[in-house]
Structure 1
């Protein structure tokens, strides 16, 4: 009669020991799995964005701040860090300050010039850029098909979207043409010299504020009959060739205001620069060239080049521009592509990874 309790006790000890051994094995197995495929580190802190505002673009900055803060909080983000551009610093310094403070996202709120200046401080940092519309052209946002008419919609994409690596163009403008102290800058859309820069230089800010991108058409009509320049062009390691050009455009992407696809093959993440030279002689020739560009057909006065490096030297000082901002007169332009150098936030259903 005493055997049964002893048997039960032994059986219980055996079961407990078995479970203990099994527990040790499970712990070891989980550790081994963690070594092979570690779980992502959980970050419980609230994410924070920096919003870099060009104050000249808005009449009521307090209302803009309140609007942006409301969207951030609705998406579960902390109150944003607001920084304003100044006459001496158009966005690069503010972007560096934001990065130093450890923000998770930087959003320029201004025109293409503000976007370019902010982006120049963010290449190869791994921190994404969220585009908010605040300018006349908003060309990069237009090429990426991001919201153009609503800061709320654009900010929602920036806060909830996915990161996409895009190319950045690096350009040097040389006013002397003798390689003396060239000015190196970043561009995201297009750099160029000739008619396009003259058109932009001749468009007053007040006219742009009132009529938007249509203001450029008025200035363009005044400069359409200007002289052509003799340009010596070298693309990559090819032989130099000469053209009489009215304008040379180096594109990281190809869509202008009004949806005009000036450089149809240009893609913002293909690792290439796409160059177009226009050589019309007069008004009639311009009309023919414009018609062919709009219909995406070829024309003997339109030449396209795909390259990773480009050098252009002209025989006279020629107006230059960078993402729509006037640079001044130059005698030489050198450009190269920096593939995948910048992270941009795109809608989650459009990220290409």
Structure 2
């Protein structure tokens, strides 16, 4: 071997050694897809002092909007609701009381802002309506806890009306159901001056049914319960009728002399009575019934038709359904919304907001 060959051979060997070292280092730094120059990413627990465990997710919290006038021992009710929430793994509920100035809408908005994932109305249909006004158009569900005299929305949704505990269990563990919301415009003067906007979940009425509500004050309802409406109804039974002009969906229009006009989002009343058999809380329509009896005999005939759910073909009962209804009376009559009277008006109009509210109901089998 010549000196030149020896030098070349040594150079080749040296080059192979250097190349092997470079490849070995590159393989060690890029193993398992890691970028060169980066080490193993430490486990997240290594960042915690003393190996502290990961912080648990805080439990869900519900809000309860309560009408304090409905309960004699409010603190006892609060303890029962709190115990029910904790037993289901929820956090301690937020607690808000309604006031005369704000029957629940502002409190419900505050509850959602504070992080409540469920807002429960603890009271009657009026409290439920006020709370729902803040939840319409949102994904936050409304829970219904019984505390009123009628609780008609709960009855129409087959929810418990005689047990706060059972109703709370459904609110916490049940399923969501979308329901329609009625929107009522009240024109007190009949001249389209300063119309008022309201929502309703059950029924709105003009005339006799509103007069019944107005004649059943809270003091009487607290003593005798739903029998207060019977007493008030008997007092107003012989009152005069009034003339109305009614329009449905801007197409059908007629005039009638009547005692009452009821616009319903659902049709079930107290005692299992069904005023509007076809009404459904999620059908995208409002049902309207006009009752036009004459005297006690007429009311007896109407009562028989309501009991047997036979409304068609009766001269004293008009039953229609639509998405827009307007009623104009020849004089001011009492108006009620979900059982709460708001004074008198010459005209009302209603539209339906289809599936605008989420309500928590029992799981279907």
Aligned match of 2:338 in 312, 323, 326? 323
Q: For 2:79 and 2:214, locate their aligned partners in 1 and report how far apart those are by CA, in whole Å.
A: 35
Note the C-alpha offset of 1:234.
0.5
Q: For 1:110 and 1:170, locate their aligned partners in 2 and report how far apart those are by CA, in whole Å.
A: 21
Of residues 259-268 and 237-246 in structure 1, the stretch that sits farther from structure 2 once superposed is 237-246
Counterpart of 1:130? 143
Please tell me whether residue 304 in structure 1 is matched to residue 319 in structure 2: yes
Q: For 2:349 and 2:224, locate their aligned partners in 1 and report how far apart those are by CA, in whole Å.
A: 33
For residues 285-328 of structure 1, the C-alpha deviation after alignment (integer angstroms, 9 at most, x for no partner) is: 11111111111113221010110001000000111100000111
Q: How does 1:60-75 map to 2 (within 5 A)?
A: 60-75=73-88
Note the C-alpha offset of 1:59.
1.1
Aligned match of 1:101 in 114, 119, 124? 114
- C-alpha change, 1:47 and 1:180, in structure 2 (3 Å) is same
Note the C-alpha offset of 1:239.
3.6
Q: For 1:236 and 1:243, locate their aligned partners in 2 and report how far apart those are by CA, in whole Å.
A: 17
Which one has a bigger Cα radius of gyration?
Answer: 2
Q: Secondary structure at the match of 1:266?
A: coil
Note the C-alpha offset of 1:204.
2.2
Query: What CA RMSD, in Å, does the superposition of the two structures yield over aligned residues?
Result: 1.3
- C-alpha change, 1:297 and 1:85, in structure 2 (3 Å) is same
Counterpart of 1:164? 177
Counterpart of 2:15? none
Aligned match of 2:356 in 327, 330, 341? 341
Counterpart of 1:234? 247
- Superposed structure 1 runs of 4+ greater than 6 Å apart: none
Note the C-alpha offset of 1:201.
0.5
Note the C-alpha offset of 1:233.
0.6
Q: For 2:349 and 2:71, locate their aligned partners in 1 and report how far apart those are by CA, in whole Å.
A: 35
Q: Secondary structure at the match of 2:142?
A: coil
Q: For 1:239 and 1:251, locate their aligned partners in 2 and report how far apart those are by CA, in whole Å.
A: 18
Note the C-alpha offset of 1:349.
2.2
Of residues 128-137 and 232-241 in structure 1, the stretch that sits farther from structure 2 once superposed is 232-241
Please tell me whether residue 257 in structure 1 is matched to residue 258 in structure 2: no
Q: For 1:65 and 1:288, locate their aligned partners in 2 and report how far apart those are by CA, in whole Å.
A: 46
Aligned match of 1:181 in 169, 194, 199? 194
Please tell me whether residue 269 in structure 1 is matched to residue 271 in structure 2: no
For residues 84-137 of structure 1, the C-alpha deviation after alignment (integer angstroms, 9 at most, x for no partner) is: 001111000100100111211000101111110000111011100000000000
Note the C-alpha offset of 1:45.
3.5
For residues 191-235 of structure 1, the C-alpha deviation after alignment (integer angstroms, 9 at most, x for no partner) is: 010100011101121211121111101110111111111101110
Aligned match of 2:90 in 72, 77, 80? 77
Please tell me whether residue 313 in structure 1 is matched to residue 328 in structure 2: yes
For residues 111-170 of structure 1, the C-alpha deviation after alignment (integer angstroms, 9 at most, x for no partner) is: 111110000111011100000000000010011110111100000000000100000000
Note the C-alpha offset of 1:65.
1.0
Q: Which runs of 5+ in 1 are unaligned?
A: 1-19, 22-42
Q: Which runs of 5+ in 2 are unaligned?
A: 1-30, 33-55
Of residues 292-301 and 148-157 in structure 1, the stretch that sits farther from structure 2 once superposed is 292-301
**Count of aligned pairs between the two proteins:** 310
Please tell me whether residue 57 in structure 1 is matched to residue 58 in structure 2: no
Q: For 1:130 and 1:238, locate their aligned partners in 2 and report how far apart those are by CA, in whole Å.
A: 37
Aligned match of 1:48 in 55, 61, 73? 61
Q: For 2:150 and 2:120, locate their aligned partners in 1 and report how far apart those are by CA, in whole Å.
A: 17
Q: For 2:142 and 2:191, locate their aligned partners in 1 and report how far apart those are by CA, in whole Å.
A: 36
Note the C-alpha offset of 1:60.
1.1
